[in-house]
Amino acid sequence: MNFRMNKLLKKMMVALLSLGLAQAVWADNVPDFKETFQAAEQGFAAAQYNLGLMYANGQGVRQDDAQAVQWYRKAAEQGYAQAQYNLGVMYDNGRGVRQDYIQAVQWYRKAAEQGLADAQYNLGMMYANGQGVRQDYAEAVRWFRKTAEQGLAKAQYNLGLSYAQGQGVSQDYVQAVRWYRKAAEQGHADAQNNLGVMYDNGKGVRQDYTNAVQWYRKAAEQGHAGAQINLGMMYEKGQGVHQNYAKAVEWYHKAAEQGHAQAQNNLGVMYDNGQGVRQDYAQAVQWYLKAAEQGYADAQYNLGLMYEKGQGVRQSKIVAKEWFKKACANGDKQSCDVYRQLD
């Protein structure tokens, strides 16, 4: 078995929920510290909230998370939604208080019930991740939907992902496409990539490689590694674009430099086969090794072949066998066969 495996990425969907829990809501045009402090001392909730922001940001005063928490709490206890949300963030991240997901959920919920989109989203995330509450995908979807309908892109993405995966709702690719598109049109890179995947595979829409390329490109240009490798594949295969190995290499390289194991393997294959670049076994080995060290089975197999043949490295059946063994342990059947033949 002398051929190099080029099992390119099957345009996998991004399966990670966008966490985004850490951002507090900052007020615009925060006033002078002395004025704010005086108003806060008099019990004005907006001033207490702004004073919390000033301590959290170190604006006009030394940065102090514990003081920020104190003033957020005063405003939050008066029902000030943004203060409730920010207090939840502080508990969520353990800033100024001991990290406490139950308290975070409590404050997110208070703000969410007042309709604050960021709080609704974060509450959905707590349910999705089972932090501070029992994991409940249906409840996560309920909160994602509330904030998605307010136009929050990351909630629209997560709602689309829930439909695509059938988590908390019945699997529905048409609905997944609908919500991915809403987020994608706002520039959400994960949503753009996943919308490309839907067009690429004909799920929820008619298969359309040209549209797939369009959405992959939008995400890839934002630095999305998964989209970069997907776009590279389209150029390599000539799907939705004219086949162009040099362009494929360009996009694989961008993703590979971000540490994307499949892109590193694919780039190795291009150097190995001299596609889009001058054939260079040493470069192929370099990229295979980077992916192999991340546990990527295809790269481990490919690296084993290089050692077996002595291409780009000194020939070593012993080292080759080690890499075949690793690939076999990672589920690559072809490597298992080669490993047994070398016994």
- List, for residues 88-128, the tens digit of each pLDDT value: 999 999 999 999 999 999 999 999 999 999 999 999 999 99
pLDDT at 332: 92
Would residue 233 count as lying in a domain?
no
Would residue 90 count as lying in a domain?
yes
Would residue 278 count as lying in a domain?
no
Q: Determine the 3-state secondary structure of 209 from DSSP.
A: helix
Query: Which residue reads 């004025």 in tokens?
Result: 35
Which has more pLDDT, 200 or 31? 200
Terminal CA-to-CA distance of the chain, rounded, Å? Answer: 15
pLDDT at 343: 73
pLDDT at 286: 98
Query: What average pLDDT does this structure show over 241-248?
Result: 98
Burial letters for 223-246: b for 16+ Cβ neighbours within 10 Å, e otherwise? ebbbbbbbbbbbbbeeebbeeebe
Task: Assess whether pLDDT exceeds 60 at residue 15.
Answer: no
C-alpha R_g of the chain:
25
Task: Assess whether pLDDT exceeds 50 at residue 22.
Answer: no
pLDDT at 342: 82
What are the tens digits of pLDDT across the range 49-81? 999 999 999 998 999 999 999 999 999 999 999
Task: Assess whether pLDDT exceeds 70 at residue 11.
Answer: no
8's tokens: 């390119």
Which has more pLDDT, 141 or 17? 141
pLDDT at 130: 97
Among the three residues 135, 156, 181, which one is the final residue of a domain in this structure? Answer: 135
Number of domains in the chain: 2
Query: What average pLDDT does this structure show over 290-299?
Result: 97
Would residue 194 count as lying in a domain?
no
141's tokens: 């979807």
pTM of the entire structure? 0.87
Query: What average pLDDT does this structure show over 188-213?
Result: 98
Query: What average pLDDT does this structure show over 119-147?
Result: 97
Task: Assess whether pLDDT exceeds 80 at residue 273.
Answer: yes
pLDDT at 329: 95
pLDDT at 319: 96
Task: Assess whether pLDDT exceeds 80 at residue 30.
Answer: no
Q: How many CB atoms neighbour CB 341 within 10 A?
A: 10
Among the three residues 104, 135, 166, which one is the final residue of a domain in this structure? Answer: 135
Q: Which of 5-14, 34-43, 171-180, 236-245 has the lowest mean pLDDT?
A: 5-14
Give the closest residue to 234 by CA, choosing from 221, 223, 214, 248: 248
Percent of the chain residues topping a pLDDT of 90: 87
Query: Which residue reads 């694989």 in tokens?
Result: 252
Q: Are 207 and 187 in contact (CB under 8 A)?
A: no
CA separation, residue 203 to residues 155, 191, 223, 235 (Å): 21, 14, 25, 21
Q: Give the sign of the dihedral formed by CA 300, CA 305, CA 307, CA 312.
A: negative
Would residue 161 count as lying in a domain?
no
Domain that holds residue 66: 15-135
pLDDT at 32: 86
Q: Which residues contact 29 (CB under 8 A, 6 or more apart)?
A: none
pLDDT band at 25 (very low <50, low <70, confident <90, very high): very low
User: How far apart, in whole angstroms, are the C-alpha atoms of residue 62 and residue 47?
Assistant: 18
CA separation, residue 20 to residues 13, 27, 86, 106 (Å): 19, 19, 13, 18
pLDDT at 6: 42
Among the three residues 72, 101, 135, which one is the final residue of a domain in this structure? Answer: 135
Q: Which of 6-10, 172-176, 330-334 has the lowest mean pLDDT?
A: 6-10
Would residue 67 count as lying in a domain?
yes
Would residue 186 count as lying in a domain?
no
Task: Assess whether pLDDT exceeds 80 at residue 240.
Answer: yes
pLDDT band at 29 (very low <50, low <70, confident <90, very high): low
CATH code for the domain of 126: 1.25.40.10
Would residue 266 count as lying in a domain?
no
pLDDT at 31: 60
